[in-house]
Amino acid sequence: MSAPLTALHRCCQRSALLLVARRPWSSSSASPPPLHTRLLLYLAQRYYDVEMLMKWSSNLKKRGLQKKNAYYGYTQKFYGGDIAAAYFILSLKGRIRFLGQPAWLHADQSGKFNWDFLNHKDTPLEEVDLSYTVINYTGLGNLERQGSLRTLSLRGCPEVDDWFLGRLHIFQDSLEELDISHCPRITTGGLAALRNLKGLRRLDMSSLPGISSPGLVAILLEEMLPQCQITAIGYDHSLKQEEEEEKEGQVEAQR
Amino acid sequence: MSAWRRLHVLVRPALTCSRLTQQRTWLCCSLSTGAPLRNDFFKDLEAQLAAVRKKAADALPGSGWSPLEINPNLPPERADIVIVGGGVVGWSIAYWLKQRERIREGVKVIVVEKDPTYSQASTVLSAGGIRQQFSLPENIHLSLASADFMRNINEHLSVMNEDPVDLQFNQSGYLFLASEEVAHIMEENYSTQRQAGAKVSLLSPTQLKEKFPWINTDGVVLASYGLENEGWFDPWTLLNAFKRKAMSMGVIQCCGEVTGFKHTTIMVRTGDDEQVGIRRIQSVRVQMPNSLEYQPVECAIVVNAAGAHSGKLAEMLGMGFGAKDTFAGVPLPVEPRKRYVYVVHCPDGPGLDTPFLIDYSGVYFRREGLGGNYIAGMSPEEGEEPDISNLEVDHQFFEEKIWPSLAHRVPAFEKLKVSSAWAGFYDYNTFDQNGIIGIHPLINNMYFATGFSGHGLQHSPAVGRAVAELILDGNFKTLDLSNFGFKRILTQEPMLERNIV
């Protein structure tokens, strides 16, 4: 009677030990930052020069992002909103397709593109692919008047956040397909903003690391957008912790 | 086994007795000769004599040492700006003051907060909403500026080597419902809001039903719905982000209560040959919590951001005690009002698209999390204000006033269950329910940022910037809030929100 109990007890103790031992290598926020970060922080706290340099570097990064997402006011004035939007997307290395045109336009590896799109004056955009670009909230202002945009892909955009999704209401009458998969900064609070896109037919929300309970969120989204087909893959829906404990129990039993 | 362990214990002190500690002395005595002990005694004596000599030198005049123990939590004796009230408005002002100072450590700012646990603070007990649907352009601009701040919060409030701020902002929008009597006001407000740049749309009852099938549209003639920059967030995160950033920039936090001011009065004659006393604060008396100890803090400027208690603070300076019909006889019209917030559970209630709904009956509700929880509340009528001496919740109020309207508007709420409730204070401006920002003409160095009547949290980023501009630059630079000044109270010209509720 007591033998299995003691075995169980030992097993529990071991797993607790394992948990404690594993902690230093886990990537939780409680773990200390790597050595070079700590060194940099120490230097920044000690020397004004280092602090200043770090501030400059972050400001430079910020300014670069701002420049890429600037408002294309001049282009809009001289060529109209559609050309400005196309030019903006092509300079971000995105892909576009004008309404009624079969061909996609895109920039090549070095960021150069064909200027033939200038011929499509006053033709609105129908499909836009901005995957893996640095578009942010401000940059979206360039697409404000694209009332006939049907497809938008924002796959893997590091700067797309909840406020960006909140501003997507500018396409509320036309947008049918939206891909926001692999965007690291999207959370549940932003997905609630998709309520304005009543015409949405297809939504891809795979692999969003900022969502805590993806299964529930996907169901609630389906409820909110009944005509929309929602893709949510890349999530581990299993109960992770219990599984791990089971595994440990099995290993223990094998010993 | 146990014998071996005992032996080990006996042997070890003998081995280490050259670097002996006091606890082990008796063991060592029994084992070793007296010589090392005597050596050690003299060594100790030498060290003690050195300590005595050092203490004597410290006690000489001119050194910093004093025989009285000093509380390390006391605020410094002097500061440039003392902010009374460590709520979100107070910390926002502190952050913006530091942000806009021209040179490093240019202004020395202290924030005095009486309750560091924030157990009764309006900031953390609010529902946490932000909206642009106001009728005064100033309020709309304040909201737009605050939403802009929250969008870029990590550019403003991130601290190096700390986690980025996550406000948990829910982009869910506000939905106002209007009945026939107030529909025209809603239309006017809508055009004001569109002019100011807010993204708001008007919905007819049919459109409303189409968009939100769970609403009962009986009695609704018009609805206005925010498309962008509206929703709710976590107030505690915003407060802590402001606090963390401000402290990293050198703001001093002080836990204590302001119990009095030392001020001077200068008598001047007005053009009409009247005697008027102008006050100037010399120092703020900060009482430490749970003790009689206090510290007067000499300062140049005091900011009154004490929220619900700011009226009391103004009374300490004699505001409102002067002769009637003079400026000195007008009190600060801010008083605490108690508001209840109820958490209800309703599994069949509206889903992810639930907006912050405000009905024309005065009832509001919003979603809380994803598990079918909602929070709801309502402002009581003017004559039925609850007692403000404690923060007890009146559950009768929910049963009688809130639930009927809620269930009428959303039939699913017939089957709700109240799971918890709390009460918090509003810094209610009895004069016109709008913020008071600026300086009093008779108190020459106290700036007010109070009386926001429930909008304080959502306007705090923009208000903080405005007050910092007022203090450091002398006037408003980005947003002109001069209409929110004291003048309107002294001249009895209220700036009322034209609400539909």
Q: Which two tokens stand for residue B458?
A: 């959502």
Q: What distance in Å separates the CA atoms of residue B440 and residue A51, rounded to the nearest whole number? A: 40
- Taking the model in full, what pTM does it have? 0.83
Q: Which residue has the higher pLDDT, A175 or A237?
A: A175
The predicted model gives B399-408 an average pLDDT of 94
Question: Among all residues of chain A, which has the CA nearest to that of B148?
Answer: A163
Q: Residue A162 and residue B172: Cβ atoms within 8 Å?
A: no
Question: Among all residues of chain B, which has the CA nearest to that of A62?
Answer: B155
Give residue-wise pLDDT tens across range A206-235: 999 999 889 999 999 999 999 999 999 888
Give residue-wise pLDDT tens across range A8-17: 444 444 444 3
Whether chain B has a CB inside 8 Å of the CB on A221: the answer is yes
B280, pLDDT greater than 80: yes
Which domains are present in chain A?
Answer: 3-23+31-66 (no CATH), 76-254 (3.80.10.10)
Overall size of chain A counted in residues: 255
From A125's Cα to the closest Cα of chain B, the distance in A is 23
**Do B386 and B326 form a contact (C-beta atoms < 8 A)?**
no
Distances (CA, A) of B197 to A107, B153, B189, B377, B456: 35, 21, 12, 29, 21
Average pLDDT, chain A: 83
Q: Identify the CA nearest to B227 among candidates A78, A247, A111, A198.
A: A198
Distances (CA, A) of B184 to B60, B175, B179, B195: 80, 16, 10, 17
Most B-contacting residue of A35, A162, A180 (CB-CB within 10 A), to test interface: A162
Q: Residue B169 and residue A189: Cβ atoms within 8 Å?
A: yes
Query: What burial letters (b/e) apply to A39-61, b meaning 16+ CB within 10 Å?
Result: ebbeebeeeeeeeeeeeeeeeee
Token pair 């999530």: residue = A235
With beta carbons under 8 A apart, name residues in chain A contacting B356: none
Whether chain B has a CB inside 8 Å of the CB on A131: the answer is no
With beta carbons under 8 A apart, name residues in chain B contacting A221: 352
Q: Residue B370 and residue A162: Cβ atoms within 8 Å?
A: no
Q: Identify the CA nearest to B363 among candidates B400, B338, B311.
A: B400
Q: Which two tokens stand for residue B148?
A: 């802009």
pLDDT bucket at B125, cuts 50 / 70 / 90: very high
From A208's Cα to the closest Cα of chain B, the distance in A is 16
List strand residue ranges (DSSP E) for chain A, in order: 95-98, 105-106, 125-129, 151-153, 177-179, 202-204, 229-231
Q: Residue A29 and residue B163: Cβ atoms within 8 Å?
A: yes
Give residue-wise pLDDT tens across range A44-86: 889 999 989 998 999 999 999 999 999 999 999 999 999 999 9
Question: Among all residues of chain A, which has the CA nearest to that of B354?
Answer: A192
pLDDT bucket at B326, cuts 50 / 70 / 90: confident
ipTM score for this prediction? 0.82
| Contacts of residue B254, Cβ cutoff 8 Å, sequence gap at least 6 | B73, B75, B110, B111, B112, B113, B286
Q: According to the 3-state scheme, what is the secondary structure of B249-274?
A: CCCEEEECEEEEEEEEEEEEECCCCC
**Do B142 and B463 form a contact (C-beta atoms < 8 A)?**
yes
